[in-house]
Structure 1
Amino acid sequence: MNSRFQEKDNVNYDVKGIEPAITETESISQEPFSTFSSDNNELTSEGGLNNTWTRFKNSFKRFELEELDPNLTDAEKIAIATARSPLKHTLKKRHLHMIAVGGAIGTGLFVGSGKALRTAGPAGILIGWTVTGSMIYCMVMAVGELAVIFPVSGGFTTYATRFIDESFGFAVNFNYMLQWLVTLPLEIVAASITVNYWGVDPKYRDGFVALFWVVIVSINLFGVKGYGEAEFIFAVIKVITIIGFIIMAVVLVCGGGPQGGFIGAKYWHNPGAFVGATPGLKFKGFCTVFITASFSFGGSEVVGIAGSEAENPRKSVPGAAKQVFWRIILFYVICLLLIGMLVPYNDPV
């Protein structure tokens, strides 16, 4: 896998019979980019608030490509169109690395792990997240490899169309759209619920939902550079929070809490490592973990999509993809192990 990431910069690839083969530096037409740049220069010369509003308004317009050969198939037209998309390529290496670190750290770990612990027990969540994480690792490495060789607009959603079939690509894109249509409100509501832990009156929860929604929309209005900076800041906050939790949890497990006394793995013995009185119930509870674990790793694929916006995908994407292994071990396995030591699965709270 590592050797594949170190391929030469100019890798030829042929997609569904397109001749000549598309290359990263040669076949992508420079005319669309030059036209797009000249438009930006003209807008910049206007200056002031009018310039900003004009760029914002024009950003919603469909970018027009030159007319393609009508004899090309739909797959060939899609391949050429995605290769010539006017991407900004403004994401730096630090952006991509922090997107990889913080992309899948969210409600699945901070909120969903509590329900999983109650239904499966400490051993169940540890095994379930480890198994799911191993599959996610393989997926991210494969997506990262494709993003290095084919840094085109759309990421993995485009690969399904180009390498399998248009109908399959449509299904992938449609399902991915539905995923985020469900995930976005779910994440916002979960964030508003989390605020209640700071003693906020529940009647203000709707206000926090609106506030978080405005923040998310505002970030997306600043383009890919604004998204990269926001993800960088949020990922740093997540990492600091989790590292702080790990340190505090280790101290508590070792008996450094206000009540004192060594905790260790006593909750793995009483009430037990798995939930259920019979092996069948224990296995059933363990299987329910995979739903929460799979949801918690959602966002790992963003590395493959954001890679097309990187300044140098061949250098930044491999490092970001390889960080997934350490993220799974440090931020999920270790955290869930400590949670299982600190909280019994039958805790009423």
Structure 2
Amino acid sequence: MPDTMRLLRSLDPERAHNIAIRLLSAWGAAGAPMRPRVPRLETRIAGLTFANPLGLAAGVDKDARAIAGWFALGFGAVEVGTLTPLPQPGNARPRLFRLHEDAGVINRFGFNNGGQAAGIARAAAAKRVGVLGINVGANKDAADRVADYVAGVSAAARVADYVTINVSSPNTPGLRVLQEGAALRELLAAASAVKGATPLFLKVAPDLSPTQIDDVARAAIEGGVDALIMGNTTVSRPALKSRHKGEAGGLSGAPLRPLARARLADFRRATGGALPLIAVGGVDTGAEAYARIRAGASLVQVYSAMVYGGPGLPARILRELDALLRRDGFARVADAVGAA
């Protein structure tokens, strides 16, 4: 496996990513699970039971091609997508850049995917041993973006354990305005009307202002959202070393960590603990996962850390997290949520 990782890192990032998905799909079908089974790590939110609080963030497996493989690596939840009603190619290549010196990634994919019909069909047929989320979005040229989300939620809710509305990608022009005011409330009302009994999650950006954070929190609570994912990639740029630091797109990985931590704290304050929070952005160790949980996250997700940590990362994070919970006397994950 180390040789495979070295080979993939020598290739164009997007090509390497696609090869990794194909390899993981084949490996997942063959079995060989790596998940540590530790009762202390089991947790429950939104009426769903998670074997552990570690999830794969949306954007890694956009077309739901390797669900069994991701679960076999140890994830308690796998979120696929973002899926749009119609297939779309996304933005022009190159659109994915490794920031090796910074342990980060910049992408400007633009919701490239093969469409909801194909992705949801694969999700329905996949072997799953954990919680499956489907992340939905709007087509770039949609005349009615709310209608696109309604179509996505309606279709995905028949298959997924939860559905996430993604209104926070920076790579679809104008999409982030759906996080604001009346537009967000209209979207949540329309999505809630078609989701049935399936929990509805909302994914928001880390680039929100304090006023926007308070408004999103109120809208999510009043709109019946079951959990809030904080957050997505950022358009801000901290000090970076990589030669790709000037590329346009969303920044993720280790450079996002301070902002993601701060926004998690902001949303914990704004929601008053009334809404489960899922932390994503710079989570790459058990210690970081534990810190986010103690800061108020019920679950955590990883994305860019898989590029640098490899397939053994989920199991390592879970072993480290279990040791930290045991050290501090927590019998279960839920007891540690917000403990800091």
TM range (shorter): under 0.3
Q: Which structure is higher in strand share?
A: 2
Larger Rg: 1
**TM-score normalised to the size of structure 2?**
0.26
Q: Higher relative contact order by CA 8 Å / sep ≥ 6: 1 or 2? A: 1
